[in-house]
Amino acid sequence: MKILQLDVNRIGFKLIAPEAKVYEQTDQKETSVDNAVVLLTSVEAEDSEEIASKAVKDALDFATKQKRTTLVFYPFAHLSGNLEAPQRAMKLFHYMVSEAKKSKLNVYSAPFGWNKALTLDVKGHPLAEMSRSYAKDIVTEEKTHLTLLPPKPKKVDLSIVRKSDFSGLPDADHRSIAEKLNLFSFQEVSPGMAYWHGDGYIVFKELVRFIREKLDEYGYEEIATPAFANVALWHVSGHIDHYRNNMFLLSSEGEEMALKPMNCPSTMLVFKSRKWSYRDLPVRLADFDKLYRNEISGALTGLFRVREITQDDAHLFVTDGQVQGELTAVLKLVGELYRKFNLPFTAKLSTMPDSHLGDEELWERATTALRNALEANHVPYTVKEKEGAFYGPKIDFDVMDSMKREWQCATVQLDYQLPQRFGLEYTGEDGKPHTPVVIHRVIYGSLERFIGILTEHYQGKFPTWLAPVQVKVLTISEQANQYAQEVYAKLRESKIRAELDVSDKTLDYKIREGQVKQVPYMLILGAKEVEQKKVAIRGRGNRQKLGVGLEHFIKSLQKEIEERDEGQNIFLSGAEPKEAPAAAKPTTTKARGKKAAEK
């Protein structure tokens, strides 16, 4: 059995039509439930009432712990490729609902076998989304909700050594855009992990380069820590009780190890490895290591939800007196980055959840510090009660893309708990040991997810500094080929990402290829450009500028790239470019090509 458990502000579903021969007869047409624990459930072959009872018990325990009074069961076949036959699956699903109704909770269920329009508003706390797996040979750990599945020998399926097929998705989906632009792919052998192609990895590296420059400016030091460690590390941090079900566990020489799902515990060890004075603080440690989270396969959604994650993670070790100043600097950094992408953002202050570490006095102190920082820096915010991390309150930032969709990206958390659990110390001005406060923060969030957001935000038309190919050099005729080679070489010498096309394809075809690849600038070279040693520039939106000196173009482009400007400022310098009527442009192009051919 596969379950995606969600703690939601609201779930709504509307019945469309039966989608299977076996479906539940019902007069229910539309349902909406607030503040509930939702179980998206796939019933698998060989599932039993014993397994179903275990799943219900875990859900009831979670709901009770979170002080939720409502449970919603939702049949969801997309979590598994090993589904039970519909008739028996429906019977077992109804058994789960009936078992849950024996509790004191309000229990709802969505009709089985129907195509439904589903809407979800998931809460923002770390336990709001949890995946669970149950099987016939279950081994359950008392202190966690994890079900460990012992390995079963089976024949290796070599047919999965292939690219994942995302055909049929909308053109605006980042996976469709990536296919056209050759940015990345997903492979069946590595579910939920992106294979970055050359052009896509350029976007990835440019984003990392951008924030690394900012980190240098703000006084950060970059570190790296091992990809996996003994689970004792997460027992000390307290993460094991909350995240184990989403960790990749392995055994080595009798030790239980895990791939790291977050950087916090490892960074605590780096800080603890030496002695610190109050004069050394603040210490700002940044980390771009890969993280691994065992998400249910049915919940994976392109770059938006993956198993291998790269975060622009950082932990700031500060004194009490430095908290406000460092929070102000982080808020400033958030604004600088998001404004560069033209992404409006809103802030949400999340307070102490019911399940938390530490005493309420420290929580109130941390929450007040975050609230004061937001207000002192005139950042509007809303409050999300009880949705903080289990070790501290946090500020979440939602960005709005060009399609008016909101995405949660940056997070700033104030933590008094983990430094205590790891025994972190610095020597204060009084000569005595003191415990530092830790500010956890990410700006992009997940690099993978942020690239997915930007790909759809720009619809593949990345600003020049992010574009995999910044300039494409095109020739009208063979006569311009030698000059085109010189122009291309000069662009490459100037560290501009350029491509050259001196093929015998028609100019219209070459331009169309550049447009499909969303190249910001095309330099079109014919006999006139060869004679004058100039370039004709074609930008986005059919903007054109003729007779431009190559050096002038390169300097203008370098400035645009260096400043990470979204505009194409070459068209704003000098005389305002005149746009020819759309119908006239192909005629002009063909005429120039014809004259060149005649010569």
Q: Which residues pair with 120 in a beta bridge?
A: 11
Distance CA(366)–CA(395), nearest Å, equals 11
Let me know if 242 is a catalytic residue: no
Q: What are phi and psi of 598, to 5 degrees?
A: -65, -35
Catalytic choice (440, 441, 449, 545): 440
Let me know if 315 is a catalytic residue: yes
Catalytic choice (47, 132, 175, 311): 311
Cβ proximity of 465 and 585 under 8 Å: no
Catalytic choice (2, 68, 356, 394): 394
Let me know if 470 is a catalytic residue: no
Catalytic choice (7, 47, 58, 313): 313
The two most distant CA atoms of the chain are separated, in Å, by: 90
Which residues are within 8 A (CB) of 364 and not within 5 positions of it... i.e. 6 or more apart?
A: none
Angstrom distances, CA of residue 83 to CA of 43, 78, 117, 215 = 6, 9, 21, 48
Distance CA(388)–CA(371), nearest Å, equals 13
* Strands of the sheet with 498-501, listed across from one edge: 498-501, 471-475, 521-525, 534-538, 544-549
C-alpha torsion sign, points 404, 409, 414, 416: positive
Cβ neighbours around 117 below 10 Å, total: 10
Pairing type for strands 30-42 and 70-75 reads parallel
Residue in the block written with tokens 């063909």? 590
Q: Which helix (H) or strand (E) segment is 107 a member of?
A: strand 106-109
- Tokens standing for residue 254: 């009798």
C-alpha torsion sign, points 382, 387, 389, 391: positive
Catalytic choice (116, 264, 305, 534): 264
Q: What is the dihedral of CA 212, 216, 217, 220, to 10 degrees?
A: 100
Closest CA to 525 of 515, 536, 533, 514: 536
Distance CA(174)–CA(205), nearest Å, equals 18
Catalytic choice (293, 305, 457, 497): 293
507-516 and 584-598 helices cross at what angle (nearest 10)? Answer: 130
Q: What are phi and psi of 460, to 5 degrees?
A: 85, -10
Let me know if 264 is a catalytic residue: yes
Catalytic choice (125, 307, 315, 384): 315
- Tokens standing for residue 235: 């027992």
Cβ neighbours around 589 below 10 Å, total: 18
Let me know if 356 is a catalytic residue: no
Residues marked active site are found at: 264, 293, 311, 313, 315, 394, 440
